[in-house]
Structure 1
């Protein structure tokens, strides 16, 4: 009787030991996967920072070009005039724009209202 209990306990211990070894292997695998994910996340984070910096530089370049372009100044002035209520003839005359462009600006302004 005592022998059978002892055998059963040994069997339970062996099963528990086997399960523990399996769990330890799983933990090792998961730790490895977590380390890989961390490395990947760091890599993606660096790329995001680099992309944000490039985007910021492009935005600055675009803003600088906007103010250097004489045509952009004319259109900015025409848009401002339209916003202030100038009629199409006045915009054409003051900004030296063709009727089609002045009409387009007026149309765009009216749609945005």
Structure 2
């Protein structure tokens, strides 16, 4: 069981390092030679949260952190957390934080 725990930690680190990528459960499972259902089951058992929610949480937390720094435009932030469509990013951000990215951003050159 310890090996499964370590495997999930490595997967979690992979997710955190690749937030800018399109991260589907199927793609991650394939990357680590697991079935999607096994991956999801192990991840949820270890972290008590479904993997898709963990990915969203990581993306939104990183976006908030970058926006608060003030040195990144909203466009840079959304690309860094894996959103290519501005509307999808804004919708997800508002749903997660109940505030728009432009309200949080300290960057003077934001137009999104």
TM-score band, normalised by shorter chain: 0.3 to 0.5
Rg larger for? 1
> What is the TM-score when the length of structure 1 is the normalising length?
0.33
> Which structure carries more helix by proportion?
1
